[in-house]
Structure 1
Amino acid sequence: MKTIQPKMHNSISWAVFTGLAALCLFQGVPVRSGDATFPKAMDNVTVRQGESATLRCTIDNRVTRVAWLNRSTILYAGNDKWCLDPRVVLLSNTQTQYSIEIQNVDVYDEGPYTCSVQTDNHPKTSRVHLIVQAVGFVSEDEYLEIQGITREQSGDYECSASNDVAAPVVRRVKVTVNYPPYISEAKGTGVPVGQKGTLQCEASAVPSAEFQWYKDDKRLIEGKKGVKVENRPFLSKLIFFNVSEHDYGNYTCVASNKLGHTNASIMLFELNEPTSSTLLQEVKTTALTPWKGPGAVSEVSNGTSRRAGCVWLLPLLVLHLLLKF
């Protein structure tokens, strides 16, 4: 695939303009509209998943610069392609129309697109909202059938009925897709003896999952001394207030609802804290080991070596005392 590089020497000022225009547009700051009669692009473009979407912008001979943007990303600036997506192609750039095509659209292509135009030194914008209909939708008159529905297709659906007599009547229907739990995050953690430790288990499910905790195939009962279970709709926490040697080991989080269940193993392991004796030994070793860095002198007198050891030892001991208290 040949990547089209932008012509930087002709387009750098235009890039600055389009970037500022996009920034103003999406931060809620109104862009100067200039001539109020500037024609707008179509408000909505609806295509099925896998088809091609054409985004058109009507212009006139007063226009000096044009660009298409997806949110704050520049797709095309004039004839120069700025995005790397091979599905986005330029259809026309004439005195009357500036249009692009997005081939093989997917659901993540849905959203706002902006045609940014400069004319008479005044930037103007026109927006298009791309709507992508997922495959598997079959509509017959007042019925909408969704075949093989997935949890991503849950949400609000809108039905509009209209004729030549009155304004359209719109009704909304909320579709809830039930699915069994799946655990999205479960990570082990290390905790020193005597410290507080927490194991977390996150699970997505509709209806919400119920959680249970096990250790070595034995279910943990709520109210055990020193251990607490906190459950939320999508999160469960196993809290140890004072970790002991007996608490270390492998724990199992089980998430379930009426459609199924799943589980994940989480390890609570010991994390050793440095003792005073080990820290002092490390300090002595560091202080008495000759420095071998660039420019170091290894042949020193005994007096000089002892003084160097004291210099290293003092700040490390002070640091240890500060961390302890």
Structure 2
Amino acid sequence: MDNITVREGSTATLRCPLDEQVTRVAWLNRSAIMFAGSERWTQDQRVVLVARNSAEYTVHIERVTPSDEGPYTCSLQTLIAPRTSQVHVVVQVPPKIYNVSDDVSVNEGSNVSLVCLASGRPEPIISWRYLASTARDFDEGEILDIVSVTREQAGKYECSAANEVAAPDVRSVRLVVRYRPTIVDVQSVDGGGTGKPLSLRCEAAAVPAAIFTWYKDQQNLRDGWQGVSIANSGSHSLLIFKNVTDDSYGNYTCEARNAMGQSSASLHLYMSLNKAATPPTSVVWLLLTTSFILLM
């Protein structure tokens, strides 16, 4: 039995060679007659008789679907004895992802499974790829398990379903990893001693984004307090002094908080006289300590 391989949506050609011995001929799909001679028996209008002469008896199956796959028989009656010729139609189907995980948010340290299901003939090979500055490929499979996920593993994951019929079908899933704030930087941005402007900058990495609060010696600082302003933007917070005064010196704490927990960094702002300068000037110094609280 010969195979006829066609792609879904294309036309399958069923050709039956004839000779002068043939008196009657028919094409059958399994046991159902499609055409007997020139007479149509099938109700399927996609099946078309395209050639009936002394050399061949040919039908087309247009817009092939997977349900058309299977054996077809050309039945011939000859002057000597009946005979048959069989072909098997193989329908190839491009890969198609029909189910993939939605974008997902998880807490750092938890386990997560990403699922990608696809159909196609031949059966597609499913693979996962992590799309980052340094891309990473994973073992093939419908399910990608990530154990004890870290913040570094957050980002976009691409699922690809591939077979030899057509280009791969590709879908992506975004993984968000929630974690408590981590103070990554606290520093003086500009300024100097008494009578000069000064800005303290606090930066925190956090998902979801952190809410910043500033304290001076345990006192919650509000925007406008003693000429001090607070400017928050994304992962940064600025504590801005228009003019440093003697009252400005002391212990300052930047606190970053989200639903996962909080982290803080404290620094001591004090003055040291720079005697080497002419005339001598005051210089601001910072001493930094950090702490964090994890909310369970």
Q: TM-score range by the shorter chain?
A: 0.3 to 0.5
Larger radius of gyration: 2
Larger relative helix fraction: 1
Q: What TM-score results when the alignment is normalised by the length of structure 1?
A: 0.41
Q: What TM-score results when the alignment is normalised by the length of structure 2?
A: 0.45
